[in-house]
Chains A and B, each alone.
Chain A
Amino acid sequence: MDAHTIIITVANSIGVLARVSGLLSSRGYNIESIIGAPTENPDIYKIHLVIPGTAEQIEQVTKQLNKLIDTVKVVDISHARNYIVREYLLIKVKAEKRSEIFELMGVFKAKAVDITRSHITFDLSGPPLKIARFIELLKPYGIKEYVRTGNVAISED
């Protein structure tokens, strides 16, 4: 059960995000993350989806998504090498061991966006693995809260 990142190119029509998420939930799939946003082409909207599943399940998901009338293209990029994948993270940690935390921040090139007496909030964007590692390494210092966007990706030229 790997997490698959799927890019769905759809017509920019009303309710298209609901069509995609509704289809997935009605067929019993769990969405890990979903992002929809307009693109350079006003008629086209792109949805990035992270969804866990076996190869067979993902094949069925892809087919079902393709069946939507609004769908123009579905690509599972999980095993493609020619894609740049990024995720964005905002994370709030306890500010007790500031120097250690700032050292980590430097290594990961994260940015402190809010500092109070008790907490520091960082933002970080990068490949999903880097985001996951940063979270992992901050855990011992006491994470109060974090939010992440889920993956977005673009093909290399």
Chain B
Amino acid sequence: MPDRARQVGARVSGAEILVDALRKEGVTLLFGYPGGMVISIFDVLNRCDDINLVLTRHEQAAIHAADGYARATGKVGVCLVTSGPGATNTITGIATAKLDSIPLVVISGQVRTTVLGSDAFQETDMVGLTRPICKHNYLVQSIEDLPASLKNAFHIARTGRPGPVSVDLPVDVAEATLKDYSYPTSVHLPGYSPTLKGNHRQVVRLSQAIGEANRPLICAGGGVISSEAGAELVAFMEKTNIPAVVTLMGLGVVPSDHPLFLGMPGMHGCASANFALAECDLLIGMGTRFDDRVTSRPDSFAKNARIAHIDIDPSEIGKNVKADIPVVGDVKSVLSDLIALVRPKSAGEWVGRTLKWKEGNRVEFDQAECPEILPQFVIRSIARLVKSDAVVVTDVGQHQMWSALHLDHGRPRSFISSGGLGTMGFGLPAAMGAALGSPERPVVCISGDGSIQMNIQELATCAINRIPVRIVVLNNSYLGLVRQWQELFWDKNYAKTCLRQGPDCPKRCSGPGPDCPEKYLPDLVKVAQANGVEAWRAEKPGEVESVLRRGLECPGPVLMEFMVRRLENVFPMVPSGKPITEIITRGA
């Protein structure tokens, strides 16, 4: 196609323009699923050697894979699907990427413009559907608009606060031709110019506040990863000796063995992080939106502190937590300015206190005392056995929280998890995207027996395409995080959270007993094997290490299932709506 595009006066089809745009935007890999309204695009894609499309088994997996790719690499993830059901199957993935600020371009086919709005076969209003869950969207109504729409889509997705952009492309536009096509070199978006540099006056105010504070604290979020500001953050912390708590989305920006790292705050956060938030007198939020899983109750959150908030998105400042010192800007740029302004400070009494709290974090599980496999033990073993440059991708649930709490987080873009939306089924496809995006790094997908089944069809995708994902399933046969809430707050009424429960079981069940169905269905090892994925199961603590070693050492894909203690809970825990200092650190 590019040869044709280069000929002056040649006519170029919409599909060819799209593929040329992908090339100009540096896309070498995308994920998708064909269908009636995108055949012309797949036709052109299939004829070019420098762009590869991975066929997933479900569009939801395609978009999560593009998302995992984007999180692991920092590049824009791209997904291509057909109209109607193809498009609607990406909705959960778009919402997932929106809440975690992940740059995606989602291209969907659409029925021809002449029948738009007539409820045609496989027609759905993608622009209407995605409006509240994407950063921006386009319905391209003529081929003249296509080059600029694609250019804008990539620009909007990756700049400012990143996010998903949907491009809905009617089939007649993809098949129409355009004379004298050239891909735009600049964007024209009069209302869109993200503020990168922090207002000087506010940055000076913040540096003064840092000078005056006795108990300063940083709360770093996923925005630090988006702006690639990990190194600046650590340099700033070391110059000022300000400790940091790091949210789920930010894990990795401060190495977890750093003395000033206080752990993850919030509902399942570390005691050290939550106590520090309660006691600090200056809280500097960076690239975080003070989500309710972090603050629990905004009115009691960091109530002894002046709050400074650095964020590229002005609407986040003052949304959940009122800011005394608002700084709109890119975290990396603001941190560079701050580092130049602040005076070095030595670690004082405050850092000493935080270190004491940190000692109290010591994880409370004892595998030696337990005949069943403890999930935390599996996670700790993974942490011990994986290479330091590994990428861990999680699903959503207890295993996610144990992974956040018990893994070593050494660097950014190494812990990938659906934070804001909490999308079960995210893990396996996102791990595929991460593995294909960073082939030099080992990728481990940690999942639960509930989550893994939500996109389990992708095992075949992994096997066929030899995608080296090492899948770890912690099988407690429960939807564990919900069961934990039922145990603690709903009188142990394990309503529909037991995945072993069948018609012969009592409807009202408060936990496993001798009459429980013995078999877990499906047999995940057999499912994996049937999909061409090697698999092993560990049922006793003594088998954990050997299964993990075998699984982590083989090229993959591979699935390792660990039958873990069924009623294990995630601690620490702050009950929903309670101040984050009301922390439950261990089970009764």
Q: Which residues of A contact B (CB under 8 A)?
A: 10-11, 14-15, 18-19, 22-23, 26, 56, 59-60, 63-64, 66-73
Contacts and interface: CB of A to CB of B under 8 A. Distances in A.
A73 B191 CA distance: 7
B135 interface: yes
A11 B132 contact: no
Given A11-B190, A22-B132, A59-B318, A67 B313 contact: yes
Given A59-B318, A63-B314, A67-B313, A72 B139 contact: no
Given A11-B191, A60-B315, A63-B314, A69 B131 contact: no
A63 to B, nearest CB: 4
B127 interface: yes
A69 B132 contact: no
A60 B319 contact: yes
Nearest to B135: A69
Nearest to B156: A69
Given A14-B139, A60-B315, A69 B189 contact: yes
Contacts of B361: none
25 contacts: A11-B190, A11-B191, A14-B141, A15-B127, A15-B131, A18-B128, A22-B132, A26-B132, A59-B318, A63-B314, A63-B315, A63-B319, A64-B315, A66-B314, A67-B313, A67-B314, A67-B315, A68-B191, A69-B135, A69-B156, A69-B191, A69-B192, A71-B191, A72-B190, A72-B191
A131 to B, nearest CB: 32
B131 A18 contact: yes
A67 B135 CA distance: 9
Contact of B131 (A19, A66, A71, A72): A19
Contacts of A59: 318
B239 interface: no
Nearest to A10: B191
B136 interface: yes
Interface hub of B139, B192, B318 (most chain A Cβ within 10 A): B192
Going nearest first, the 9 A-B pairs with the smallest beta carbon separation are: A63-B315, A72-B191, A69-B136, A26-B132, A71-B191, A69-B192, A22-B131, A64-B315, A67-B315
Given A15-B127, A18-B131, A22-B132, A60 B191 contact: no
B95 to A, nearest CB: 12
Given A69-B191, A70-B191, A71-B191, A23 B315 contact: no
Given A10-B191, A69-B156, A60 B318 contact: yes
Contacts of B132: 22-23, 26
Contacts of A67: 313-315
Contacts of B190: 11, 72
Nearest to B191: A72
Interface string B179-216: 00000000001111000000000000000000000000
Contacts of B313: 67
B94 to A, nearest CB: 14
A69 B313 CA distance: 13
Given A10-B191, A15-B139, A67-B313, 16 more contacts: A11-B190, A11-B191, A15-B131, A18-B128, A19-B131, A22-B131, A23-B132, A26-B132, A56-B318, A59-B318, A63-B314, A67-B315, A69-B135, A69-B136, A69-B156, A69-B191
Nearest to A13: B138
A11 B319 CA distance: 26
A23 B141 CA distance: 23
Contacts of A60: 315, 318-319
A18 B135 CA distance: 15
Contacts of A63: 314-315, 319
Contacts of A70: 191
Nearest to A19: B131
A141 B512 CA distance: 74
B253 to A, nearest CB: 24
Contacts of A64: 315
Contacts of A14: 139, 141
Contacts of B314: 63, 66-67
A136 to B, nearest CB: 37
B316 to A, nearest CB: 9
Nearest to A74: B191
A72 to B, nearest CB: 4
Nearest to B314: A63
A66 B192 CA distance: 9
A107 to B, nearest CB: 44
A68 B313 CA distance: 12
A17 to B, nearest CB: 12
A56 B320 CA distance: 11
B121 to A, nearest CB: 23
Interface string B116-152: 0000000000011001100110010100000000000
B125 to A, nearest CB: 10
A64 B318 CA distance: 12
A69 B189 CA distance: 8
Interface in B304-331: 313-315, 318-319
A97 to B, nearest CB: 50
A47 B141 CA distance: 23
Nearest to A61: B315
B128 to A, nearest CB: 7
A134 B216 CA distance: 58
B508 to A, nearest CB: 37
A153 B348 CA distance: 57
B543 to A, nearest CB: 49
A70 B131 CA distance: 13
Interface string B100-116: 00000000000000000
A69 B139 CA distance: 15
A6 B59 CA distance: 40
Nearest to A59: B318
B483 to A, nearest CB: 32
B496 to A, nearest CB: 29
B328 to A, nearest CB: 10
